Amino acid sequence: MVKMNGETLMTDAAAFVVMSGAYLQLLKKKSRRRSRRRWWMVSLNQSRERYSGTHLMADLLKEPSGRFENFCRMSFEELLQKIEPVISKKDTRWRKAIPGKERLALTLRFLASGDSFKSLHYLFKISAQLISSIVPEVCSALIKVLSNVIQIPSNESEWKNIEKQFENIWNFPHCIGSMDGKHITIEAPINSGSEFYNYKQYFSGVLMALVDADYNFIFADCGCQGRLSDGAVFRNTELFKKSKITDCIALQMSHYQGKIFQFHTYLWAMMHLDYVNKS
C-alpha cells in the first residue's frame, strides 16, 4: 500500500476543487444556452400584409358614418402626421419594421377599448410581446408630442373668452368649463386595501377633466383613488389648489340637464371680486 504524505494530499485536493469548479461552470453555460425558436414568425403573423386590423381601420376611414371614431375614439391622420417621425422604425436585413401607422393604430385601439395584448395580437397580427413594447413607446411619444395641446388658461382674459363661448354656443352664462370624472378600472395596488375600491364595487383610479365650449380639453388630472367622491377628487387637483391662490371666490359643482343637451357637471367660477360686481 502506497503511503501519501500531507503535501501530496493537499495537491490532489486542490486539483479536485479546480476540476469541480470547471465542471460546474460548464454546466451553467449549457443551462444558459438559448433554446432554438420553433418558428421565425408564426404563420398567422406572416399574413399581416394581406389582411389585419390596419386594413380594417383603412376601410373604416372611408366610411362616412363615424365608425372609425367609434373604433378609436378620435380622428387619425392629423395625429399620425405629428407622431409618425417619432415612432417609426427602420427596416433591417432580416425583417420589415412595423410601420408607424400600425403602431399608432393598435395603441389607440388599446387605449379606447382596454383589450388585452393577446386580443390585439389576433386583430393586428403582431405578437403580444412586441405589442407590450410598442404601446408604452407610443404613449410616451404622444405625451411628448402633444404636451402643449392641453393648456389651462393663464389669465383672466382667457377665462372670460371661454365664458363668452359658453354663452354664445350653449346659451349658458357665467360658465368657464364643463367638468366630469371617469372611473378607470385597475388592478388593486399591493397593500392598498380598499383605498381604490369605489362605490361601483371595483378598483379604479379617477380621470377628471375640464373642457371648454368646443369640447377642447383645458385641464386633466388622473390617478386619484376611486373611493373618493367627485368633490374630493376635485379638491386634490392642481386646478383647485391654484384657484384658491388666484382669489377664486365663487366655485361650485352643480348638475344641469336640458332637453336639447346635457351637462353632467359644470364648473362655475368668477375669478375676481370686481368681475363679480360687474356681472
Instruction: Spell out the per-residue pLDDT of the chain, length 279, in tens.
Output: 444 555 666 666 666 666 666 667 777 766 665 555 555 555 555 555 555 566 666 666 666 666 666 666 566 778 888 888 899 888 777 777 888 888 988 898 888 888 888 888 888 888 888 899 999 999 999 988 888 887 888 777 888 888 889 889 989 887 888 888 888 888 888 888 888 899 888 999 898 888 889 988 888 888 888 888 878 888 888 877 776 544 443 333 344 344 333 333 344 443 333 333 344
Residue 141: per-residue pLDDT: 92
Say if residue 195 is in the same domain as residue 114.
no
Residue 67: per-residue pLDDT: 66
Say if residue 165 is in the same domain as residue 140.
no
Residue 34: per-residue pLDDT: 57
How many separate domains does the chain show?
2
Domain boundary at 145, 168, 196, which? 145
User: Is 15 inside a domain boundary?
Assistant: no
Residue 44: per-residue pLDDT: 55
Residue 162: per-residue pLDDT: 86
**Interatomic CA distance for residues 210 and 162, integer angstroms:** 12
**Interatomic CA distance for residues 43 and 102, integer angstroms:** 19
CA 33, 35, 39 angle in degrees (round to 5)?
A: 150
Expressed as residue numbers, the domain containing 239 is: 156-278
Residue 100: per-residue pLDDT: 87
- Alpha carbon 44 to its chain centroid, in Å, reads 28
The widest CA-to-CA distance across the chain, in whole angstroms, is 118
Say if residue 176 is in the same domain as residue 119.
no
Residue 73: per-residue pLDDT: 58
User: Is 29 inside a domain boundary?
Assistant: no
Residue 230: per-residue pLDDT: 79
Say if residue 131 is in the same domain as residue 167.
no
Residue 168: per-residue pLDDT: 94
Domain boundary at 123, 145, 167, which? 145
Residue 134: per-residue pLDDT: 92
The C-alpha cell at 58 is: 383603412
